[in-house]
Every structure is written in C-alpha cells, then in structure tokens.
Amino acid sequence: AQRVTQPEKLLSVFKGAPVELKCNYSYSGSPELFWYVQYSRQRLQLLLRHISRESIKGFTADLNKGETSFHLKKPFAQEEDSAMYYCALYNFNKFYFGSGTKLNVKP
Amino acid sequence: DGGITQSPKYLFRKEGQNVTLSCEQNLNHDAMYWYRQDPGQGLRLIYYSQIVNDFQKGDIAEGYSVSREKKESFPLTVTSAQKNPTAFYLCASTPRDDKKELFFGEGSRLTVL
C-alpha cells in the first residue's frame, strides 16, 4: 500500500537558517511526488513537483529512490515561509498525503 | 473568478442526520476529489471521480456517499452511518493532464452536536 510519512509535526527555525522538511514514502513503482503548502488563511496549493525538478520560492526537493525520500529544502528560511507543508504521492488517479509539517520561521 | 467553491463553510448537525456538502468548480476539470482533514492525520481520501457519472471509493468511504451528475459538481453526503463525522472537509479538482496539480476549495467544517 502506498504511504507517505512526514515524521515532524512541527519544525521551528530562525530566519536565515537552513530548513529541511522530511518526507518518506512507500511505493513499489516509480512514484510521482509533490509538495503542497498551506499559508495562513489561504487554500492548500501546489508548491512543487519532483518531475519538474524546479525551484519554487527557493525551495527544492530531490527524489531519492534508494532512501525512498523526497525531502523539501531551503538554504535560508524566511518568515513568509511559515506555513503547513504536505508531501503527496500520486498513483492511479489518487493522491496520498502525509500528515503534514508545520514550519515556523522565527525572526 | 475561476476556482472551486465549497459550501457551507461551517455546518452543525445533530446526530442521526444526513448532511450534504457542496463542491462546485468552473475550471473545466475532469477529476474531482473529497478529502477529510483531521489534526495530525493529514488528508485522507473519501471519494474521487474521474468523469461524469463515475466515482470510486477512497480509503475512508464508509458512511459517505457522492454523486457526479455534472462535470462542475461533486457533492458529498455525510450520512448518519459515519461514526465520527466532525471534521474539516476539502474538495479538490485537477485536469487530466501531465501536471497533475490539485486545486483545492476553502473547505467545510462539519460539527456534529
């Protein structure tokens, strides 16, 4: 069965510090993975997808098939990055989400 | 203003009553989804639909029902058989393309008294 695990419920860092939000998945095939973000009082929205290999708002995520991980990274966190982050996996028309990590960037 | 509209935002229900949550989209998306969001559990899939007049159960479909009579609409009924219906419900849609980007509504919070 597909499963997405985000081990940290809350991650607090200071502004300017590096940040890494962890995501591990279990899936036997070639996964399609995504990071979604929900800022305060806003809708859940797509941040980035692994297949695009893009950097959005300074965030990147690399798919590591050997470790079955898709960690989200940013070298210098900003206060506006404070939000709820969800890792998601797509398989056969269904999207599976992790439990989410709340990122709090302190001034 | 294109997007997904969920209504009502807040809903209170007595035990034993069915309630229907509305989800409408004007994005011309084929696929629509219903998720339940509980603290610490993330989003769990209730039902999804790829095309009109067709839908499939997700991981937690028991006590819920849906219909997809129109492309724009995917209402969710929370029946009295749902043992723990108090939750936040999210509707989403996506076009059937390679991007696979989900577009979400603002959600509906259901409280059973």
Q: Is B45–A94 a contact, with Cβ atoms under 8 angstroms apart?
A: yes
Q: Judge whether B18 and B41 are in contact, CB under 8 Å.
A: no
Q: For residue A34, give how far its alpha carbon lies from the nearest alpha carbon of chain B (Å).
A: 9
- Over residues A78-90, mean pLDDT: 96
- Over residues A17-28, mean pLDDT: 93
Q: For residue B59, give how far its alpha carbon lies from the nearest alpha carbon of chain A (Å).
A: 10
Q: Is A46–B58 a contact, with Cβ atoms under 8 angstroms apart?
A: no
pLDDT at B1: 57
pLDDT at B2: 66
C-alpha span between A69 and A30 (Å, rounded): 12
- The CA dihedral of B57, B60, B62, B67, to the nearest 10 degrees, is -40
Name the residue type at position A80: E
Give A-chain residues touching B42 at CB under 8 angstroms. 4, 6, 86, 97-100
Tokens representing A92 are 């056969």
pLDDT at B99: 77
pLDDT at A1: 64
Q: For residue B41, give how far its alpha carbon lies from the nearest alpha carbon of chain A (Å).
A: 5
Tokens representing A49 are 């997808």
Q: Is B45–A96 a contact, with Cβ atoms under 8 angstroms apart?
A: yes
Interval B52-79: pLDDT, tens: 999 999 999 999 999 999 999 999 999 9
How does pLDDT run along chain B (113 residues), one tens digit per residue? Answer: 569 999 999 999 998 899 999 999 999 999 999 999 998 888 999 999 999 999 999 999 999 999 999 999 999 999 988 888 999 999 999 987 877 899 999 999 999 98
* Start-to-end Cα distance in chain B: 35
Of B36, B35, B9, B12, give the one whose Cα is nearest residue B22: B9
On whether any CB of chain B is under 8 Å from the CB of A101, the answer is: no
Counts for chain A of helices (H) and strands (E), in that order = 0, 11
Phi-psi label, residue B39: left if phi above 0, alpha if psi -120 to 50, beta otherwise: beta
Instruction: Name which of B42, B48, B101 is nearest A98 (Cβ-Cβ).
Output: B42
Contacts of B77 (CB under 8 A, 6+ apart): B18, B19, B20, B21, B64, B65, B66
